[in-house]
Structure 1
Amino acid sequence: MQTIRTSLFEMTVPDIFENPGVVLESIRATYNKGDEWVTIGVSPIENFSGLYDTELEKQLSYALVEEYWEPYREGIRSLAFASVALETTDPDDYSDRGNTRFGGLPDLPCGITYPVFTTYDNRVMGYQFIAQINCEELASYQNYLPRQGLLYFFITDQEDFNAKVIYAQETDVLISAAELEIEDDFIYDDHGVFAPYRVKVGKYVSVPHFYNDDSLYKGKAASLSALEEEYEQTENLRRQLEEHTLSVKPVHSMNSYVFKQHDSPQIEAANQLRGNANDFTVLLKVSSDRLPGFCFWDAGEIYFVIHKSDLAKADFSNVYCGLESS
């Protein structure tokens, strides 16, 4: 075990850096909130699983009450995630600074400039802004994000999808997106700047799509492979669980499953960044959305994936981004 302490977190974790094959079973993460240290999580299983949220656990139990689910009930419960639903609503005129937003431009703290990179032909171009997440606004819906601050999500373009995620803890003084002199031709991706939209938030239970999910069918979930042939039943289950978000559709989401034709986002991230797939989580899934103008290839989805130990210590410097499209 080792203890990592920064100005933001104190964390005790297994020696995963010496042995990247270790599966994280326990993390003690303590959050520095002004003049006091507050423990915000003891186990990533508790933080990420839908079973440890009383409200979500009741919703899942109700959805699985029919006799049909009896052979699969324990397996589905073992795989259920406590997810955050994010739905774009109204155009954002930038009148509020630091609100959760998809598209447009970010509200940046003083000292943080809009991120750029050097292209293959030596041009300095801007990343494409996808979203900013106000962690305090989402604090009551989950236990895995920092309790305050802003998360900013960018990609290079819609060919490479190289991710840049920035976390700003101090957000008392923000430069409004309206004040940024960023034009479409400064953004490397051909689409330029997306339309800015406000967001409403909810929480729900996310379960697998049961399509080429062989890597999940182990232990308590071994029997779930039979559900690969039960499309109507599994889609009805997913729909029923998503309807519990109190009218918030999970157009975009955090800590959720992603429909994949091949390897899961966690497996892709583990292959790219090294480690065990079980130790990664989908930090943010962004779907094609007509409101801000997101269209990732053929109406696909992109996903930002992070190692749970990095998330626990608020280190967003090593995030993988991938794409799923038909």
Structure 2
Amino acid sequence: MLSENNQNKLERIVREYQFEHAMDYLKETVRQGIRLSKKEMETYNEIGVSRIGGDPDLPATVKWPVNSDGIPMTFLAQLQLIELVPHDVSALLPAKGMLYFFVGVDEPAYGIEHKVIYLSDDNLQEAKRYHSPEVTALESEFTGYRVSARPTMEPPNYGYVDYDIVEDDEHDYEQYEELCFELSDENSADLAVMFGYPSTQHGDCEYEAALHLLTGLKYNYSAESALKQITDHFQGDSIRAKQEIEDTVLLLALDSDQDVGFCWWDAGELQFYIRKEDLLAGNFANTYCSLYSS
């Protein structure tokens, strides 16, 4: 449910773009997200800040994660939660601590080996810059950038939107995109988004992620089949299965970026998912990673 401020803002923007015919639909489908934008290149003169690329700040007690072949994973991001929580309108994140994201080989595009680590503030007291191993799974060096967070509204993108509702005789998809840019306040410095809609052509990412998170099974590109498998997992409880899919959250989507050096296949997006129940419990041990590229 949108906050009162976001609902008022959405109503104002929808009227400004003359999309009143889609007002109720957008109120129901717009997600409250967090966008992360590039600031300055990292100088490492400050420990424990939000950073994408480069090296992480880790205590000596934390071992660098490795993939199934024993090769060090590649560090992607560390997010200082005290910097994010003021922008977490839906109150999903832990109030304090740090989230770290690592990835193995980004191939194939589904079930990608990765690691999400959550450390409380108590565990961060001895953290210091930890230089990435010379060779990591991606065999790439990424440039570190400080990032800033801001709250956004994330409307359904081209893979999720109901075209029959947003388009009519007077409104086309290009006009809807303009509305989306205004709602999400999108800009060229954006590196990542949390809790929004993943980039995709088919709108079934949550089915794929939920199926794996709940059953460990591989998605066969059929949402109907995935729903049946999840329903079977819950002994025929289809209501529970649908709720689990609805509660599968896009924890982080990392865009390709030339400055950092991220290039997910053909300038795509790397996506991390988590069950809402685990997120609210501060449990990041069970997550899913996939990749979208056009």
Bin for the TM-score computed over the shorter chain: 0.7 to 0.9
CA root-mean-square deviation: 2.2
Alignment of 1:51-200 (within 5 A): 51-52=2-3, 54-66=4-16, 68-119=18-69, 124-142=70-88, 143-160=91-108, 161-169=112-120, 170-177=122-129, 180-185=130-135, 187-191=136-140, 193-200=141-148
Q: CA deviation at 1:264?
A: 3.2
User: Is contact 1:109–1:168 with CA below 8 Å preserved after alignment?
Assistant: no
Match of 2:271 among 303, 313, 320: 303
Are residues 251 and 203 of structure 1, via their aligned partners in 2, closer, same or farther at CA, if it must alter by over 3 Å?
same
Corresponding residue SS for 2:210? helix
Quick one: distance in 1 between partners of 2:145 and 2:41? 4
- Structure 2 gaps of 5+ residues are 215-240
* 253 and 72 in structure 1: CA distance in 2 versus 1, 3 angstrom threshold: same
Distance 1:168 1:212, change over 3 A: closer
Q: Does 2:192 match 1:252?
A: yes
Give the length in aligned residue pairs: 258
Q: Deviations over 1:206-229 (max 9, x none)?
A: 0011x343xx75xxxx963747x8
Report the TM-score when normalising by structure 2: 0.81
Residue type of the alignment partner of 2:292: E
- The structure-2 alpha-carbon separation of the partners of 1:225 and 1:63, relative to structure 1 and needing over 3 Å to count, comes to closer
Give the match's secondary structure for 1:93: coil
Partner SS state of residue 266, structure 1: helix
Q: Distance in 1 between matches of 2:181 and 2:148?
A: 19
- Detail structure 1 runs of 4+ shifted over 6 Å in the superposition: none
Letter in 1 for 2:165: L
Tell me the TM-score normalised to structure 1 length.
0.73
Q: Which has the higher strand share?
A: 1
Residues in 1 aligned to 2:92 and 2:152: alpha-carbon distance in whole angstroms: 15
Cα contact 2:36–2:149 (8 A) shared by 1: yes
Distance 1:71 1:223, change over 3 A: farther
CA contact (8 A) 2:74 2:103 kept: yes
Query: Sequence identity of aligned pairs in percent?
Result: 30
The match for 2:181 is 239
Report the 3-state secondary structure (helix = DSSP H, G, I; strand = E; otherwise coil) of the residue aligned with 1:117: coil
Kindly provide the amino acid, as one letter, of the partner of residue 50 in structure 2: T
